[in-house]
Amino acid sequence: MGSQPFVKFKNLGRMAFTQAYQMQKEVARTLLEEVACHSQDMVSGNTVLLVEHDPVYTVGIRSKQYSAEVEERLRKLQADFVRTNRGGLVTFHGPGQLVAYPILYLGSFFKDKSMRSYVHSLEQMIIDFCTRFQLEAKTTEHTGVWIGDNKIAAIGVHGSRYVTTHGIAINCNTDLSWFDHIVPCGIKDKGVTSLSRELGRVVTINEAYPILVTAFERQFKCTAVGEIKCS
């Protein structure tokens, strides 16, 4: 790895999960083709998609434990339900939640091209992000990033030939009652929280966007380019 890599940030605004999922696949396919053709660490297609989803429950690769009855029950809440290839169990995405999908070639950022190194960097980036709001966040033996016993950010990723998809979800001013209908990420006896709840004021996605981009630049030692203005 030589000079700092460039990462394209694309703000998708409000979008259904299935549409953003398809975009992830297309960007990842293009990046995989670039890596295969050039066989080099510094590639031009590293991208982060920023999005706010319509209400949706998603499950990861262990989705078989979620029956058709569970899916029907959640859909009756006027939310979509999507099975994906990410790690992790069930979670919720929806309005007021900042979702970031880094589609990255790991060789651009880590000598060992390790998913473990990547997930650790995501965790540290979110902790840094929370610090900018004067919040003390931490990691635990469970996935995600926590404030006390409450999860403020979920992490669920997938890797194929050193290219990542899926990513992180940070609760800004999310309606947390959506989480009452599931066991988020399969972790019992723990809660969820948001920036707004912790700070006692409304924290919008528009406020959080630039802080997340800056935290990403610091942690991944990259330069953000592209359209990152708020919708």
Q: What is the CATH number of the domain that holds 35?
A: 3.30.930.10
In a domain, 1, yes or no: no
Query: In sequence order, what are the residues at sequence separation of 6 or more whose Cβ sits closer than 8 angstroms to the Cβ of residue 45?
Result: 8, 27, 30, 31, 34, 103, 105
Instruction: Choose, from 130, 172, 185, 222, the residue flagged as catalytic.
Output: 185
User: Over 60: is that where the pLDDT of 1 sits?
Assistant: no
Q: Give the pLDDT of residue 42.
A: 66
Q: Give the pLDDT of residue 229.
A: 46
Cα dihedral 137, 11, 155, 24, rounded to 10, equals -170
Q: Give the pLDDT of residue 100.
A: 99
Residue 187 annotated as binding site? no
Residue 155 annotated as binding site? yes
> Cα–Cα distance between 60 and 91 in angstroms, integer?
9
**Domain coverage including residue 117:** 6-225
Give 153-210 pLDDT, tens digit per residue: 999 999 999 999 999 999 999 999 999 988 765 566 789 999 999 999 999 999 999 9
- Under the banding of pLDDT at 50, 70 and 90, the label for residue 230 is very low
> Cα–Cα distance between 177 and 96 in angstroms, integer?
12
Query: In sequence order, what are the residues at sequence separation of 6 or more whose Cβ sits closer than 8 angstroms to the Cβ of residue 216?
Result: 7, 48, 100, 102, 125, 222, 224
> Cα–Cα distance between 171 and 193 in angstroms, integer?
7
Residue 115 belongs to what H/E stretch? helix 115-131
Residue 90 annotated as binding site? yes
In a domain, 143, yes or no: yes
In a domain, 230, yes or no: no
Q: What is the mean pLDDT of the chain?
A: 91
Q: What residue has token string 């990255």?
A: 104
Number of domains in the chain: 1
In a domain, 91, yes or no: yes
User: Over 50: is that where the pLDDT of 37 sits?
Assistant: yes
Residues 74-105 as b/e (b if ≥16 CB within 10 A, e otherwise) read beeeebbbbebebbbbbbbbbebbbbbbbbbb
In a domain, 214, yes or no: yes
185 is known as an active-site residue? yes
> Cα–Cα distance between 49 and 58 in angstroms, integer?
18
Q: Give the pLDDT of residue 187.
A: 63
- Under the banding of pLDDT at 50, 70 and 90, the label for residue 55 is very high
Residue 100 annotated as binding site? no
For the chain, percent of residues with pLDDT exceeding 90 = 76
Residue 169 annotated as binding site? yes
Give 67-123 pLDDT, tens digit per residue: 788 889 999 999 999 999 888 788 999 999 999 999 999 999 999 999 999 999 999
In a domain, 144, yes or no: yes
> Cα–Cα distance between 149 and 190 in angstroms, integer?
6
In a domain, 77, yes or no: yes
Residue 45 annotated as binding site? no
Q: How far does CA 22 lie from the centroid of its chain? A: 15
Residue 91 annotated as binding site? yes
Q: Give the pLDDT of residue 3.
A: 79
In a domain, 151, yes or no: yes
